[in-house]
């Protein structure tokens, strides 16, 4: 179903463009994603994908920008952090709270997407992808409720729905269970270690020293389908 290069974002042979949603996803997830989009439209929701397949190089660029302080860092309550106040261990923790380690991102698989309701906001609205947007009076609260009631019909679930010791809740992040569950099983610690061997990753030695812990907390510890 996946080879090691596809699992770690170093190949794109398993994904294709979905022009109707301007995104790139696993070939096996396309039909169900489009069916979910149509169902949402019938409920008055303009389901839009704002992030889909992401390759290894892109994930490295995100990681390094956060490590250098040129991209925003947030704490577990989505509050901005001062880069200069963080030592290397704290910096790595802050990055991992909201961004995956390159090679370990579920977006590498093409099974995972970040979604919003485009019709709920003005054209110039700057999407933040923060939990508050999906709660209470947030612009995507209606989408949140619709997904909770309907996404499983199309094979999707939220891997980051509970507060955990690793990645924080991401109500916008959906995963296509029929493919994502076996992908997670295939992404072993050894596969991840190999992907990181020659990566131009800032803080690489510190990451490698604690990779088993990162793998356990930030890769394996997710909510299962229908939890």
Q: How many residues does the chain have?
A: 227
Domain count, the chain: 1
Tens digits of pLDDT across the chain (227 residues): 899 999 999 999 999 999 999 999 999 999 999 999 999 999 999 999 999 999 999 999 999 999 999 999 999 999 999 999 999 999 999 999 999 999 999 999 999 999 999 999 999 999 999 999 999 999 999 999 999 999 999 999 999 999 888 899 999 999 999 999 999 999 999 999 999 999 999 999 999 999 999 999 999 999 999 85
In a domain? residue 227: no
Instruction: Provide DSSP, 131-176.
Output: GGGGSTTSTTHHHHHHHHHHGGGGTEE-TT-S--SSSPP-TTEEEE
In a domain? residue 226: no
In a domain? residue 113: yes
In a domain? residue 121: yes
In a domain? residue 201: yes
In a domain? residue 141: yes
In a domain? residue 161: yes
Q: How many whole angstroms from its chain centre is CA 59?
A: 11
CATH label of the domain that carries residue 17: 3.30.1380.10
In a domain? residue 225: no
Strands, E, within the chain: which ranges?
15-18, 23-26, 47-51, 112-117, 156-157, 173-176
Residue numbers of the domain that contains 206: 4-220
């Amino acid at each position: 179903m996946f080879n090691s290069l596809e699992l770690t974002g170093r190949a794109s042979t398993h994904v294709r463009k979905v022009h109707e949603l301007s995104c790139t996803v696993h070939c096996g997830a396309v039909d169900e994603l489009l069916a979910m989009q149509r169902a949402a439209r019938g409920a008055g929701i303009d389901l839009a994908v704002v992030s889909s397949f992401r390759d290894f190089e892109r994930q490295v660029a995100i990681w390094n920008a956060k490590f250098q302080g040129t991209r925003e860092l947030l704490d577990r309550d989505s509050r901005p952090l001062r880069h200069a106040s963080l030592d290397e261990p704290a910096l790595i923790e802050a990055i991992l709270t909201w961004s995956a380690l390159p090679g370990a991102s579920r977006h590498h698989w093409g099974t995972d997407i970040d979604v919003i309701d485009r019709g709920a906001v003005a054209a110039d609205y700057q999407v933040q992808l923060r939990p508050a947007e999906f709660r209470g009076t947030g612009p995507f609260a209606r989408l949140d409720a619709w997904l909770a009631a309907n996404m499983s019909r199309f094979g999707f679930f939220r891997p980051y729905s509970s507060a955990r010791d690793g990645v924080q809740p991401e109500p916008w992040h959906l995963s296509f269970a029929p493919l994502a569950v076996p992908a997670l099983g295939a992404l072993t610690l050894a596969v991840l270690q190999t992907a990181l061997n020659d990566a131009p990753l800032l803080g690489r030695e510190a990451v490698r020293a604690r990779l088993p812990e990162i793998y356990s907390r930030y890769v394996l510890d997710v909510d299962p389908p229908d939890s």
